[in-house]
Amino acid sequence: MAWLITIPKTTPWAEYQKELAAVADGSQVMNYKTRYIPEKMKKGDRCYLVHDGRVRGWMEIVGLVEREEPWTCTTTGTRWPAGKYIQRAGPFHKVDGPAYTGFRGIREYDPTPERVARRWLGERAV
């Protein structure tokens, strides 16, 4: 299964790529804060990233956790609250993905060319 998450436009892509590089060997993880972890989501699923209205690539989901205490990111120094997090690590698989706008957060994603074409044509992606 594949998932799609949004990275805020306020995060410069060049800066985000530094974080991607830091977790490429799998020795560290990236955490994505979410209100909920989808029931069907599991370790090993692909997690596609949307930044500034485009699908940029994917990483493997390596953990689904609920942190009970606030914590500090070792890469950026940002302080994060307790809550649910989707963890990703390993290589970032860059794709020249389609435009994808109109949502924030996380959703199921079907990256097959047929689904992508339907979305480009304005039909509702299911």
Write out pLDDT tens, residues 84-110: 999 999 999 999 888 888 778 899 998
Q: How many CB atoms lie within 10 A of CB 18?
A: 11
Does 25 have pLDDT greater than 50? yes
Q: Residue 74: pLDDT band by 50, 70, 90 thresholds?
A: confident
- Region 43-52: mean pLDDT is 95
pLDDT at residue number 96: 85
- Region 66-81: mean pLDDT is 92
Does 113 have pLDDT greater than 80? no
Mean pLDDT across the chain, nearest whole number? 88
CATH for 2-120, among 2.30.130, 2.120.10, 1.10.540, 1.10.10? 2.30.130
Does 12 have pLDDT greater than 90? yes
Which candidate, 90, 25, 100, places its Cα nearest to that of 55?
A: 100
Domain ranges of the chain: 2-120
Say if residues 19 and 49 touch (Cβ distance below 8 Å): no
Does 120 have pLDDT greater than 50? no
User: For 21-54, what is the HEC assignment?
Assistant: HHCCCCCCCEEEEECCCCCCCCCCCEEEEEECCE
pLDDT at residue number 117: 47
Say if residues 47 and 5 touch (Cβ distance below 8 Å): yes
Beta strands 106-108 and 71-72 are: unpaired
pLDDT at residue number 125: 45
